[in-house]
Amino acid sequence: MITTQLYQSGKMPESETKQRIVDFLFSELEAYGDPKKDIEKAVDYALNDKPGGFILTASDEQQRLTGVTVVNSTGMQGYIPENILVYIATHRNCRGQGIGRRLMEEALHRAEGDVALHVEPDNPAKKLYASLGFTNKYLEMRFKKKG
């Protein structure tokens, strides 16, 4: 049986739990992940008071993490979606069991306003996102400053 846990401003995880979340995401995002320091920034942002966001975790009967999602609020209602789903990952041994879908559905339910996410073109999770109603409205382009 999988249980979920919500963390946000006012309902913060213990520092050991926060580190487990960061380590889990770093490990399980694999090719679609970011450096650990960037993951930690997104987690800290989600736990801040304003604009903040939230983190959902899924755990098995032994309290082992099986999935994590991080949603950051943008504070930009109306012209940019109010939320960005920054990370979602399930443990590599638990994929295909509906944990990612459950986390996504709960995150979409809890989020106040619209939700955007970025997904790599070859990421198999695109099918899940499309099945939940996400559409590909824009081609994202980025300019990165050197240095």
For residue 140, being part of any structural domain is answered with no
Residues 6, 25: Cα–Cα separation, whole Å = 16
- What is the average pLDDT score of the chain? 91
Give the pLDDT confidence score for residue 140 in this predicted structure: 77
For residue 146, being part of any structural domain is answered with no
For residue 101, being part of any structural domain is answered with yes
Confidence of residue 136 (pLDDT cuts 50, 70, 90): confident
Give the residue with greater pLDDT, 147 vs 12: 12
For residue 142, being part of any structural domain is answered with no
Give the pLDDT confidence score for residue 144 in this predicted structure: 83
Dig out the tokens for 128 from the structure: 């899940």
Confidence (pTM): 0.90
Residues 75, 112: Cα–Cα separation, whole Å = 11
Confidence of residue 141 (pLDDT cuts 50, 70, 90): confident
My answer on whether omega of the bond before 51 falls inside 30° of 0, hence cis, is yes
> How many domains does the chain contain in total?
1
For residue 67, being part of any structural domain is answered with yes
For residue 143, being part of any structural domain is answered with no
Residues 126, 123: Cα–Cα separation, whole Å = 6
Give the pLDDT confidence score for residue 147 in this predicted structure: 73
82-132 pLDDT per residue, tens? 999 999 999 999 988 999 999 999 999 999 999 999 888 888 888 889 899
For residue 139, being part of any structural domain is answered with no
Report the CATH number at residue 87.
3.40.630.30
Q: Give the other-Cβ count within 10 Å of 20's Cβ.
A: 16
Residues 104, 125: Cα–Cα separation, whole Å = 11
Give the pLDDT confidence score for residue 109 in this predicted structure: 95
User: Residue range 68-89: average pLDDT?
Assistant: 92
Residues 7, 9: Cα–Cα separation, whole Å = 7
For residue 141, being part of any structural domain is answered with no
Give the pLDDT confidence score for residue 142 in this predicted structure: 77
Give the pLDDT confidence score for residue 98 in this predicted structure: 92
For residue 106, what are the domain limits? 3-131
